[in-house]
């Protein structure tokens, strides 16, 4: 085993142990929380090494980079998540190529994914990204506009709404993110009543704040730095 492969395997094992501990403390089943390894700006060789150690869910932020990795790793049975901001004119490169798109925040984007998925004869699973804190620099639909967007998405047969995603503000103290996570869970519960269907997923929690996220009901946590190490800036 190469030194890098061993390092990655040890890192992901530690993260999974911490996730399992957080789930147990919250009275939840470990299997109910999926670790999405955020592999943006990391080489395909890192993804392959982690896959060989049993980590199969990976999150990507940039369309061109993600598609190139998928092509290089086409022989591996991986679960790809698109977690970055997505312009509607690039939806055609994403629909049908990712098991889950976490970052739908407009009718225009949902419609573009629906159109491409329908042309491929597939249904694209999506999450609606909610900007709970109202940060102008972050993507996401407002809490007030969420019910309308959810209703619109339900009319599109090329996409399937399976939950919600959020990114809280950065806090030095992870516990300060808890109200954001609790609010997303509340919004999911309200939407389930509105739509008359279960929404199984809450994508929330990253390297610095996944413990309160799991305690508040996260089913998908997006962790990169603790697994891959610090990232060089994207040029």
Distance CA 161, CA 200 (A): 9
* Burial annotation 115-126 (CB, 10 A radius, 16+ → b, else e): bbbbeeeebbbb
Nearest to 120 by CA among 97, 144, 147, 152: 97
Helix axis angle for 178-195 and 146-154, nearest 10°, is: 40
Q: What pLDDT does 232 receive?
A: 64
Q: What pLDDT does 160 receive?
A: 99
- What's the pLDDT tens digit per position in 40-99? 999 999 999 999 999 999 999 999 999 999 999 999 999 999 999 999 999 999 999 999
What is the mean predicted confidence (pLDDT) over 19-45?
A: 96
Distance CA 110, CA 112 (A): 5
Nearest to 100 by CA among 231, 192, 205, 220: 220
| Residue 189 CB partners (closer than 8 Å, separation 6+) | none
What is the mean predicted confidence (pLDDT) over 30-34?
A: 96
Cβ atoms of 146 and 182 within 8 Å: the answer is no
Return the structure tokens found at 136. 């102008």
- Whether the per-residue pLDDT at 9 is higher than 70: the answer is yes
- What's the pLDDT tens digit per position in 89-125? 999 999 999 999 999 999 999 999 999 999 999 999 9
Q: What pLDDT does 133 receive?
A: 84
Is the Cα dihedral 155, 156, 157, 162 positive or negative?
negative
CATH, domain range 3-228: 3.20.20.10
Distance CA 183, CA 189 (A): 10
Which band of pLDDT confidence, cut at 50, 70 and 90, is reported for residue 137? confident
User: Where along the chain do its domains lie?
Assistant: 3-228
What is the mean predicted confidence (pLDDT) over 3-32?
A: 95
DSSP strand E in 118-224: where? 124-129, 159-165, 201-203, 220-223
Return the structure tokens found at 218. 């996260």
How many other CB atoms are found less than 10 A from the CB of residue 25?
11
Q: What pLDDT does 111 receive?
A: 99
- What's the pLDDT tens digit per position in 154-196? 999 999 999 999 999 888 899 999 999 999 999 999 999 999 9
């Amino acid at each position: 085993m190469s030194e890098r492969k061993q390092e990655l395997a040890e890192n992901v094992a530690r993260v999974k142990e911490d996730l399992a501990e957080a789930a147990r403390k919250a009275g939840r089943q470990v299997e109910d929380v999926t670790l999405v390894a955020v592999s943006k700006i990391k080489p395909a060789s890192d993804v392959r090494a982690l896959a060989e150690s049993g980590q199969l869910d990976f999150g990507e932020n940039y369309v061109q980079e993600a598609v190139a990795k998928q092509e290089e790793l086409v022989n591996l049975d991986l679960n790809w998540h698109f977690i970055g901001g997505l312009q509607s004119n690039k939806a055609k490169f994403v629909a049908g190529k990712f098991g889950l798109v976490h970052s739908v925040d407009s009718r225009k984007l949902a419609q573009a994914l629906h159109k491409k998925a329908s042309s491929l004869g597939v249904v694209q699973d999506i999450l609606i990204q909610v900007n709970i804190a109202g940060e102008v620099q972050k993507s996401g639909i407002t809490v007030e506009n969420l019910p309308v967007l959810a209703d619109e998405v339900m009319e599109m047969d090329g996409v399937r709404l399976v939950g919600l995603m959020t990114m809280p503000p950065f806090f030095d103290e992870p516990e300060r993110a808890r109200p954001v996570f609790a609010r997303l869970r509340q919004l999911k519960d309200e939407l389930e009543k509105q739509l008359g269907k279960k929404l199984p997923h809450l994508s929330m929690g990253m390297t610095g704040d996944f413990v309160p996220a799991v305690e508040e009901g996260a089913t998908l946590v997006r962790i990169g730095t603790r697994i891959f190490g610090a990232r060089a800036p994207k040029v």
